[in-house]
Structure 1
Amino acid sequence: DAFYISERGRDYLGVAKENQEKGRLLSAGFHSMMGYFRDDVPLRELILDETGNAELDRLWQELDFITYAPLRQYQGFLWFERTDSRYMRDPVFDFARAEDKSAASQVMIEKLAEVYLAKARENGGEGVPLQAIADYFKNINTQIQWVENARAESESIQLDALLAFANRAWRRELSAAEQQQVRDFYTLLRAEDGLDHEEAMRDSLVSILMSPHFMYRTDLISSGSGSRPLTPFELKNRLSYFLWSSMPVTEDDAEESIKPESVAKQARAMLRDDRIRGLATEFAANWLDVRRFEEHNSVDRNRFPQFTDELRQAMYEEPVRFFVDIVQQDRSILELLDSQHSFVNPVLAQHYGIDDITFEGNEWKRVDDMSKYGRGGPLGMSVFLTKNSPGLRTSPVKRGYWVVRRLLGERIPPPPPNVPDLPEDESQLGELSLPEMLARHRDNKSCAGCHDRFDSIGIAFEGFGPIGERRTLDLGGRPVETDAEFPGGMQGTGLEGVRTYLVQERREEFVDNFCRKLLAYALGRGLMLSDEPLIETMKSRLTENDYRFSSLIESIVTSPQFLTKLGQDYLVED
C-alpha cells in the first residue's frame, strides 16, 4: 500500500543530493487523504497583487475552516511519523499520538516541537533544517488554533442559522417556545450526550426534519371568530406552494409583499420561472388524472411491445410541457380544448408517425400543426387515450367519462350493481363492434341516463387504439366508427368533432370547472358557498382578458380568501 514519489522542491536537499534521484515511500492512504499542502508561492508572486494575495489567504482560511484540514494534516503527520518513519519511534515521542484529541492542543504541539528539535540537534541538525522544523510546528499550531477559535466563535452563529433553517423547513416562523425547544435539544446533546458542536448540530438538524411540521404542511389556525391577514412569511409560503409546489426561495419579510398589487406582481414573475413545472405536475396532472401515469402497467406489452418505459415516460411528459407552455407564455386556457400544437421527443414522435422533424438526442420540440398527424392539444395525447383503455381494447365509456368528468366537471353517479362487463379483448367482441355493443347496453333504461351523457364523446376517439396509436381497424379487424351525435344533438366526427363540440357547446362548463379546480387547489380546501362571488369574478376577468391564464392567477392571489386566514371559531352568518 505504498508507492514512490520524488522529493518536492524547497526541501533543502543540498547541491549534491539535488543531482541524485532522491525519493521516499509514502503510505498510499496518507498521501491520498492527507498528503497535500499549500504550495502556491511561485505562482502568486508572479500574478497577484497585494489585494489578490489577501483574498487568496482568506479563501485558504475559509477552506481550512470548512474542512478542518490543518488538524487532519497534523494528525496524519503524527500517524505517519509514528508508524512509517523511524524518527518518532523513539520513546520520547510516546506522548504524541494521532488518536489523542489533546495532541493538537497548543501546549502539546509546542511540547512536541521542543522534543522534535532536541532530537534533530542530537542527530547533528543545524541552521536551515532546524528553522524549517520550527517553522512547521509554529505554522501548523497557528492554523489549528485559528480554526479552533473561529469554530468556537461560530457556534452561536450556526445555531442561529439552524433556527433560520427551521423557519424554512417548517414553512413558517417558529414561536419563541419552539425556538427554545431547538436550543434546549442542542444543549442536551452537548451536555449529557457528550457530542461536539458539529455532531450536536447534525442531530438537531435531523430532529427538525423529522418533525411533523416538516413532514406535513400544517397551517396553524389562530383563535377567534374573525379572519386575519396572513403574515408576509405565511403569504410568501402560500404563494410558493400554490405556484411552485415548493418552499419559497427567499425569506423577504417586507410589508409591501402583503399588499394585493405586490402579490400580483410577484405571482406574474413566478409564472415565468421554470419552477412553475410544480403547478403542472401537482395541479394539472392530478386534475387530468395522469399524475401516476409513470407507474401505469395496464398495457399488455406482449400485444403492444412498442409501449416501452421510455414511451410511457414521454407520454406523461407531453401534457406537463404543454401546460407549462400555457402558463409561461400566458396563453388562453381554451387551448386545453382546441389547440393544434403539442410537444414531442423522438420516442413520442415515432409513436405519432412524425417523421419530418430532426432531433438532437432526446430533446423536446414544439410541433405547431399537429392536426396533420390527427392530434393537437390534450385531447389528442396518448397519455389520456392510454390511461382510459383497459389494455387489450379501447373504452369509449372511460374516454367519454374522462372528458365530461375531468374537463367539464359533470357529476356522474356510479353504475348500478350487476352490470355485465364487456369482453377484455377487442378481438373477442364477435360480430358486433364496440359502439354497437354500447348501443345495446344503452337500451337498458337504468344505464342509458348516464351513458347518453358521455358514450358518444368516447366513440369519437375510436380512431385511436389502446395505447393512443392511430388506426382505421380495431383489433378484431373491423373498421372503426368515429361518427357521433353528442349530447344536445350536435354531430361530429373524430377528434376534431369533439373539439368543435366542446368549444361551441360546452365552453362555459369547462371554464367554470377549471376555475373551481384551480381555486380549490390554491386554497388547499374544498370550496364553500362564500367562494361563489370570487368564481364569478374569475370567469368575468377571463372573458375580459381573452381567457389568458395570468388573469386567473391574479384574481386568486389578490382575493380575501388567499390573503387571509379564518379563526378557529369562525361562523358563517345566515
Structure 2
Amino acid sequence: LRRDGQGVEASLRAVLIAILMSPDFCYQINEVQKGKGVYDISAIHLASRLSFFLWSTIPDAPLLETVESGKLATKDGLLTQTQRMLMHPHVENFAREFFGQWLRYRDYLEKDTINAEAFAGYDEDLRQAIFEEPVKLLTHLIQHDRPITELLTSDVTYVNDVLARHYGGVIDKQYKQAFSKPVGYGNPLNKWRMVSGISEDGRQGLMSMAIVLTKNSKGERTSPVKRGFWIAHHLLGQHFPPPPADVPELPESEKDASGSIRTLMAEHTTNPKCAMCHKHFDHLGLVLEHFDPVGRVRTHDLAGRSIDNIVTTDEGETLDSTSSMVDFLLKHRRDDFIETFCRKFLGYALGRSVILSDEPLLDEMKLKLSQNDYRFSVLFKTVIQSPQFLKQRGKDFVATK
C-alpha cells in the first residue's frame, strides 16, 4: 500500500479493514485434516468448541491448562471441565444466546414494536429487565440441574425492582418484602431476586414471561396469532406454510378495533384456507389473552372490553389459564417439545444444522432424558461425549454404508 502511494493512515486503515473482514477473524475456523476418514479433533480445538458452546467466548486459563496436561482428552477430564464451566457465571451467555436464538427473542431490544407511549413505565430500564429475566431463570435451571420441562412449568422467576413493579401481584409483594430494610440500606433497583408462587398471578414458565408476550404483540394490541404460532412452531416444532400476501392487517391498537381481537379472528375458523393452519395455534394464543401487550395480567383490553380467554381443544379439554395450557401441552405434546428442544440444543452445540446422520444421537439424547427425569445435565454430558462433538470429517471424507 505504501509503495502504491498510500499514506500511513490510509495504509493502516486498509490493513485493519482487511483483518476485521477476514473469515478467520469473524468465524471459528479450525484446520481440517486431510484424508477420507473421521478424526479426533485436537485438544485446543476441543477446548475452543467447549468454551464457545457453554460460554460464547474463548477458553479460560483452567481449561487451557487441561489442554497442556492432556486431561481434557480423557472422559473424566472433559466431564470435570464441563461441570466447572456450567457452574461459572459465564453460563449466562449460553442461556442468553441459545434460548434467545431458538425462541426468537434475542433481538427484542433492537426490534421491539410496542408503542412505549401507550404503556406507562415501559421505558429502557424495564425493557432491559424484561430481556434479562429469562437469562436469570434459565441459568438457575441449568446450574441446579432442573428438568427441561420446567421451561414450561416453573413456578419461580427472577425479577429486579422495575420488573417486579411491572408485574405487580405476588411477585411485587415478595420482592418488596425481601428488601424491606431500614432507610439507607441501598437502592434495590438492579438487585435480582428469585420469587416463587407466580402461578397465583396466572404465570408459569417461559410462556408467561413479558419478553415472550411482548415480542409477540404489536403496537398497542396483543397478537394471539403470533403468540400461538410461537408455541406451536418454536416450542413444539410444528411447521406451517407462509401466510398469503393479501392477509389484511388488524388495527394497531385495541382501542381502534371494532370488536375484541378474538372477534376479529373469527374468520380464521370459518374460512377453510385460513383454518388449515390457524386451527393448530390460534387457540393457544387466545389462552394468553389475559396478558396485555407488555405482559401484565389483565381482565379487560385497552378498549375496556372483558377478556375471554377460554378455549376448547379438539381433544375436548377446556383451557382457561397458563397452567391449564401447560398441563395440556405436557399431556398431549410432551414428545414434540422434547424432540424440538433436543434438535435445537444439538444444532447449537455443533454450530450447524442437524442432519440425517445425527438421528441416532438425537434418539440417545431423548432416551437418556426420559431415564433421568429430563434433567439439563443429561443433554450436556451426552452431546459433549458424542462423536459429533469430539471428531471431525477429513477434507476428502467419503460416506460409507
When normalised by structure 2's length, the TM-score is 0.88
Confirm or deny that 1:309 pairs with 2:127: no
Confirm or deny that 1:243 pairs with 2:32: no
Q: What do the CA deviations read for 1:472-502 (whole angstroms, capped 9, x no partner)?
A: 1112211111111235443211212211111
Matches within 5 A, 1:119-268: 212-250=23-61, 251-252=64-65, 253=67, 254-268=69-83
What corresponds to 1:150 in structure 2?
A: none
Matches within 5 A, 1:43-54: none
In structure 2, which of residues 319, 341, 353 is the aligned counterpart of residue 526 of structure 1? 353
Larger radius of gyration: 1
- Hey, what's the Cα distance between the residues in 2 that align with 1:486 and 1:220? 53
Give identity over the alignment, percent: 41
- Hey, what's the Cα distance between the residues in 2 that align with 1:363 and 1:312? 16
What corresponds to 1:458 in structure 2?
A: 285
Confirm or deny that 1:424 pairs with 2:252: yes
- Hey, what's the Cα distance between the residues in 2 that align with 1:504 and 1:370? 22
What corresponds to 1:278 in structure 2?
A: 93
Equivalent pair of 2:162/2:189 in contact (CA under 8 Å):
no
Q: What do the CA deviations read for 1:147-172 (whole angstroms, capped 9, x no partner)?
A: xxxxxxxxxxxxxxxxxxxxxxxxxx
User: Which secondary structure state, in structure 2, belongs to the residue aligned with residue 539 of structure 1?
Assistant: helix
Q: What do the CA deviations read for 1:492-541 (whole angstroms, capped 9, x no partner)?
A: 11212211111111111111110110100000111111111101111111
Equivalent pair of 1:454/1:487 in contact (CA under 8 Å):
no
What corresponds to 2:311 in structure 1?
A: 484
- Hey, what's the Cα distance between the residues in 1 that align with 2:202 and 2:161? 18
- What's the offset of the Cα at 1:208? 7.6
In structure 1, which of residues 426, 446, 461 is the aligned counterpart of residue 273 of structure 2? 446
**CA gap 1:388/1:261 in 2 versus in 1, 3 angstroms:** same
In structure 2, which of residues 383, 387, 401 is the aligned counterpart of residue 560 of structure 1? 387
- Hey, what's the Cα distance between the residues in 1 that align with 2:157 and 2:99? 16
In structure 2, which of residues 199, 206, 217 is the aligned counterpart of residue 378 of structure 1? 206
- Hey, what's the Cα distance between the residues in 2 that align with 1:255 and 1:330? 28
Equivalent pair of 1:369/1:376 in contact (CA under 8 Å):
no
The letter for the 2-side match of 1:433 is S
- Hey, what's the Cα distance between the residues in 1 that align with 2:90 and 2:174? 32
Equivalent pair of 1:318/1:342 in contact (CA under 8 Å):
yes
User: Which secondary structure state, in structure 1, belongs to the residue aligned with residue 347 of structure 2?
Assistant: helix
Unaligned runs of 5+ residues in structure 2 are 1-14, 180-187
- Hey, what's the Cα distance between the residues in 2 that align with 1:339 and 1:261? 32
Equivalent pair of 1:485/1:491 in contact (CA under 8 Å):
yes
- Hey, what's the Cα distance between the residues in 2 that align with 1:350 and 1:287? 28
Unaligned runs of 5+ residues in structure 1 are 1-203
Bigger RCO of structures 1 and 2 (CA < 8 A, at least 6 apart): 2
**CA gap 1:387/1:205 in 2 versus in 1, 3 angstroms:** closer
- Hey, what's the Cα distance between the residues in 1 that align with 2:116 and 2:18? 46
- Hey, what's the Cα distance between the residues in 1 that align with 2:75 and 2:244? 49
- What's the offset of the Cα at 1:205? 11
- What's the offset of the Cα at 1:459? 0.2
**Number of residues paired by the alignment?**
373
In structure 1, which of residues 358, 362, 366 is the aligned counterpart of residue 190 of structure 2? 362
What corresponds to 2:344 in structure 1?
A: 517
User: Which secondary structure state, in structure 1, belongs to the residue aligned with residue 175 of structure 2?
Assistant: coil
- What's the offset of the Cα at 1:564? 0.1
User: Which secondary structure state, in structure 2, belongs to the residue aligned with residue 290 of structure 1?
Assistant: coil
